[in-house]
Chain A
């Protein structure tokens, strides 16, 4: 097999991100100051360069690049999801200088790990072979285990990190076992090779069990019920900026890879996986929303709400097989669009919790940074900070699915598509679940606007305000002018081969 230099273009965006991250790690040697603004600038530059590369691929190159023996493919879907991942990474980077300084994470490795994770996610959504899918899944998980425990003196952060590591390793076992079974049954790791084998009638029970276990592995990583147990603890224990980063990017990358596996490896055997996904989507929506109802911590509530949103995205995949047994791969476009809307509203909501953080007196006279978590932290803050409260209100209404926000259109597009393909039951369950979710989203708004303030010592940093403003802008923009984004999502699926 010979490789041409042209094939490097397929991984150029991911490479740019990774190089920026590695340079940021090395930068510590040359920039010995307390602030990490240079690191943030460098990584931001990498993100912008990668976005430019993806943009030129989308608008000038146009045809997908199949590289390295079809192990990687930079097609429209990879570009679409990579851009969403990069947007989230960029937003996290804007506030990360202030955030790391406050939490005393005085080292550039934070940036290196964020960028390595982002580049692995970009490679993951472009992976066309179980070998690359697996390795990139592991790279991003490893970086996130460390980012979860990066506030090393915080026992909750440590606990979350270990919990994530153990459950993540467990998920990896399932995934790897499934891949081994698929390899045993079909003799190949390549997604297209597996499709050919299945078409030849090699759909032995071993291949089916393998496919099932691979889906279990993905379900763990994206936090779908019944494999969601780690989500609330990890999201709550991790530093909020890490939570914001991983809650949106892992979901985009994981669901994206799952879409590629289903559409490339097993498109004409949707009878094998559609029902499984149907039950998973229903359970995820119901359990996620019911658990979120009971939470008093806003951060934990948002963690369960992110479980519920995984369920909404899975509705699109579960209903790709319409009730009259035709296969409609275009349905996956609504999952892509939903992931995009979810990225901005969730990132915004978590950033708001960073914005409302305050200092706690530490043990030895120093002060310790504490992001806002409970409802009482937010009580009555709308009087003091009307703009931030309005933005949080916007994110919550968007998460609940109220027009004219992005969240409404995402859900509308999802459920309307499901009904069009005859899946009325799951659409009704989804709409009911989002009605339930309105209760706990609106409760936060009630506390912000109608309660007397309890704690009023938050120390907001302007860079976090910038993140919230940009995320709010994106949420409104997608909500008001969704056409281009929906068209991009539909085109991504249409050209998927």
Chain B
């Protein structure tokens, strides 16, 4: 019961902060709302008995990505407090389509009663996660390192000085 209340509270905060990221006019505010959203997601992981994932989420996203974003804003901003108008230019049917998709997803989840029985119990055990990476999902894990490498090469190519 208490857990259900907690999850509902977390969900409401999660959605509210996510909306705040999008509607905020100030870039810095957006980034801070994003940080709040990511930390709330980490709380959700805690509720799902995955403390390791929660710690990684906080360290990587809040610690790494958000800091990078703030530096990015700081280093590229021409005039302080520059505003990014968030008023949407999307056509009128964008909202109905998005709401329709959301409703479809919700209905799909609610009409699947066997869901709870099927989903394997998550294991927050860091040791088990490590074993999965080097056992069952070895090849995906190795391919991920190529992903990082491609990202690194790409970033250097696009950002470095020189011709072209």
Interface residues of A (CB under 8 A from B): 1, 3, 11, 18, 22, 25, 67-69, 71-72, 103-107, 109-110, 112-113, 116, 119-120, 123, 129, 131-132, 134-136, 138-139, 142-143, 145-146, 149-153, 177, 181, 183-187, 202, 204-209
Interchain CB contact under 8 A, A132 and B135: no
If the complex has contacts A184-B118, A184-B119, A209-B104, are A109 and B139 also in contact, measured as CB distance less than 8 A? no
Q: Is residue B137 contacting chain A, with contact meaning CB distance below 8 A? A: yes
B139 CB → nearest A CB, Å: 4
Interchain CB contact under 8 A, B151 and A142: yes
Nearest 5 Cβ contacts at the A-B interface: A146-B154, A209-B108, A206-B112, A204-B112, A131-B140
- B143 nearest CB neighbor, chain A only: A135
Q: Is residue B99 contacting chain A, with contact meaning CB distance below 8 A? A: no
Q: A18-B146, A143-B150 are in contact. List 9 more A-B contacts (CB 8 A).
A: A106-B163, A129-B140, A139-B150, A146-B158, A150-B158, A183-B119, A184-B119, A185-B118, A209-B108
Q: Count chain A CB atoms within 10 A of each CB in B105, B112, B144 and give the residue with the most.
A: B112
Interchain CB contact under 8 A, B118 and A187: yes
A150 CB → nearest B CB, Å: 7
Interchain CB contact under 8 A, B118 and A107: no
Interchain CB contact under 8 A, B135 and A103: no
Interchain CB contact under 8 A, B137 and A71: yes
Q: Is residue B120 contacting chain A, with contact meaning CB distance below 8 A? A: yes
Q: Is the interface of B mostly helix, strand, loop or mixed?
A: helix
Q: Is residue B115 contacting chain A, with contact meaning CB distance below 8 A? A: yes
Q: How far is the CA of A19 from the CA of B34 in the complex (A)?
A: 38
If the complex has contacts A104-B164, A204-B114, A206-B108, are A142 and B147 also in contact, measured as CB distance less than 8 A? yes
Q: Is residue B153 contacting chain A, with contact meaning CB distance below 8 A? A: yes
Partner of B164, one of A106, A113, A131: A106
Within 8 A of A (CB), among B99-119: 104-105, 107-109, 111-112, 114-115, 118-119
Q: Is residue B74 contacting chain A, with contact meaning CB distance below 8 A? A: no
Q: Is residue B149 contacting chain A, with contact meaning CB distance below 8 A? A: yes
Pull 21 A–B residue pairs with CB atoms less than 8 Å apart, ordered by A. A3-B138, A67-B139, A69-B136, A71-B138, A103-B164, A106-B162, A113-B157, A135-B140, A142-B150, A145-B154, A146-B158, A149-B158, A150-B164, A153-B164, A177-B105, A183-B119, A187-B119, A204-B112, A205-B107, A205-B108, A206-B109
Interchain CB contact under 8 A, B112 and A185: yes
Q: Is residue B75 contacting chain A, with contact meaning CB distance below 8 A? A: no
Partner of B147, one of A3, A109, A135: A135
Q: How far is the CA of A135 from the CA of B138 in the complex (A)?
A: 12
Q: Is residue B95 contacting chain A, with contact meaning CB distance below 8 A? A: no
Chain B residues contacting A184 (CB-CB under 8 Å) are 109, 112, 115, 118-119
Total A-B pairs, Cβ < 8 A: 117
Interface residues of B (CB under 8 A from A): 104-105, 107-109, 111-112, 114-115, 118-120, 135-140, 143-144, 146-147, 149-151, 153-154, 156-158, 162-164
Interchain CB contact under 8 A, A68 and B118: no
Partner of A131, one of B119, B137, B162: B137
- B156 nearest CB neighbor, chain A only: A109
If the complex has contacts A25-B153, A103-B164, A105-B164, are A132 and B115 also in contact, measured as CB distance less than 8 A? no
Q: How far is the CA of A92 from the CA of B63 in the complex (A)?
A: 42
Q: How far is the CA of A336 from the CA of B10 in the complex (A)?
A: 48
Chain A residues contacting B162 (CB-CB under 8 Å) are 106-107
Chain B residues contacting A205 (CB-CB under 8 Å) are 107-108, 111-112
If the complex has contacts A11-B139, A68-B139, A205-B108, are A146 and B163 also in contact, measured as CB distance less than 8 A? no
If the complex has contacts A18-B146, A113-B157, are A68 and B138 also in contact, measured as CB distance less than 8 A? yes
Chain A residues contacting B139 (CB-CB under 8 Å) are 11, 67-68, 71-72, 132
- A105 nearest CB neighbor, chain B only: B164
- B135 nearest CB neighbor, chain A only: A1
Chain A residues contacting B146 (CB-CB under 8 Å) are 18, 116, 119-120, 139
Interchain CB contact under 8 A, A138 and B153: no
Q: How far is the CA of A112 from the CA of B62 in the complex (A)?
A: 32
Chain A residues contacting B156 (CB-CB under 8 Å) are 109
B86 CB → nearest A CB, Å: 16
Chain A residues contacting B163 (CB-CB under 8 Å) are 104, 106
- A154 nearest CB neighbor, chain B only: B164
Q: How far is the CA of A181 from the CA of B101 in the complex (A)?
A: 14
Partner of B111, one of A113, A129, A204: A204
If the complex has contacts A71-B137, A185-B118, are A109 and B153 also in contact, measured as CB distance less than 8 A? yes
Q: How far is the CA of A151 from the CA of B164 in the complex (A)?
A: 6
A139 CB → nearest B CB, Å: 5
Q: How far is the CA of A205 from the CA of B146 in the complex (A)?
A: 35
Interchain CB contact under 8 A, A185 and B158: no
Chain B residues contacting A186 (CB-CB under 8 Å) are 118
If the complex has contacts A18-B146, A116-B149, A139-B146, are A206 and B115 also in contact, measured as CB distance less than 8 A? yes
Interchain CB contact under 8 A, B154 and A143: yes
Q: Count chain A CB atoms within 10 A of each CB in B112, B119, B154 and give the residue with the most.
A: B154
Chain B residues contacting A143 (CB-CB under 8 Å) are 150, 154
Chain A residues contacting B136 (CB-CB under 8 Å) are 1, 69
Partner of A116, one of B118, B135, B150: B150
Chain B residues contacting A187 (CB-CB under 8 Å) are 118-120
A96 CB → nearest B CB, Å: 14
